[in-house]
Amino acid sequence: MIKTRFKLTIALAIGALLIAPIAVQAKKLEIEGASWGGKVRAGPGKDYKQLGSLKKSSLVTLLEKTSVIMDGYPWFKIIHIDNATGYSVSGYQWGGILCSFNSEIAGVHKTCPRYWSDSVEVTEKAGAKEQPIAPVHGNSDEDNQTAEAVISQCLAAENAAKRNGSACINRFAETCNESTEAYARGNPECSLQEQRVWDRILNAEYKKLMSLLDSDSKKNDLRGSQRTWVKFKTQFCPLSYKFTGGSMYKVTSANCLNRMTAQQAFEIYRLTETQVEPRTCAITHCP
């Protein structure tokens, strides 16, 4: 019996020695950062229980980078202060909605805006002079989708319902603005993200129509009209901001660019139908 206890004591001591270096090594990985806002999970993945959520600019300490990857970003073990209790709380967040201060580290979106703070008042006051650029992949939460995915899914649904897809205009921007409170902060990024999607669709439809035209005269007419439209759009949409000022009107201008780009994509699509058999499917989702 004594020998057994002795062996057990030695085993525990050896185990402690083996574990200790790992704990020290993990502690050295501590990096100060912040969150773009979103859910904190009990483990590295969306299937784990939600422990809470962080607001945009909430300060965190990045403890460990896990090997679990989602949409190109790893999950991190983090620790943050619970403002309700004042206690430190640990959990996991996706790297795509995290940033680091002072220097960029692999696996997070980018460096944090230097004025970010746990104090919403401090952050918003400083942010009036400097607007951070939101992650290109989306919004305040890892559950939110990219503009590309939202518009693509909407167009597919419109195609299945035998509609032309125009109902998808602003589909991503509206949801993004609601979830990130971008209107309140005067951040036009939501509309600009969607606008880039429609711009790619417009370019694809334009090239398709150009390839179907049977004369140089028709091609020159299309090219000239498109150049005129681009000039008009880029001069007209910023007017609300130029005339009135205020960060809110940056959002209005971006909304205008998004809406006009999407509408032009559908106009080019309809012109293409004059050159081929009428298509009864949503734009860019024809078989």
Domain ranges of the chain: 31-127, 147-273
Other Cβ atoms less than 10 A from the Cβ of 38: the count is 24
For 265-280, what is the mean pLDDT?
Answer: 80
Examine the pLDDT at 116 and tell me if it is beyond 70: yes
Judged against a pLDDT cut of 60, whether residue 137 lies above it is answered with no
Q: What is the pLDDT of residue 92?
A: 95
Q: What is the pLDDT of residue 11?
A: 42
DSSP state of 110: E
- List the alpha helices (DSSP H) in 141-188: 147-160, 171-180, 182-185
Question: Would the pLDDT of 42 be above 90?
Answer: yes
Full-prediction pTM beyond 0.75?
no
Whether residue 265 has pLDDT greater than 90:
yes
Would you state the structure tokens that stand for residue 217, as one six-digit string?
């005269």
Contacts of 117 (CB under 8 A, 6+ apart): 57, 59, 123, 126
Res. 183 pLDDT band, cuts 50 70 90:
very low
Contact 53, 38 (CB under 8 A): yes
Place of tokens 């220097």: 103
Candidate CATH numbers 4.10.1240.10, 1.20.1270.180, 1.10.10.10, 3.40.50.300; the one for domain 147-273: 1.20.1270.180
**Are β-strands 59-70 and 73-81 bridged in parallel, bridged antiparallel, or unpaired?**
antiparallel
- Predicted pLDDT of residue 144: 52
Q: From the CA atom positions of the chain, what is the Rg in Å?
A: 26
Asked whether the predicted pLDDT for residue 7 surpasses 50, the reply is no
Distances in Å between the alpha carbon of 217 and those of 149, 212, 213?
A: 38, 13, 9
- Per the structure block, which two tokens stand in for 245? 């000022």
Confidence of residue 20 (pLDDT cuts 50, 70, 90): very low
Residue 113 pLDDT > 90, yes or no?
no
Of 35, 76, 77, give the one whose Cα is nearest residue 57.
35
Confidence of residue 86 (pLDDT cuts 50, 70, 90): confident
Q: What is the pLDDT of residue 231?
A: 94
Q: Which residues contact 219 (CB under 8 A, 6 or more apart)?
A: 210, 213
pLDDT of residue 250: 76
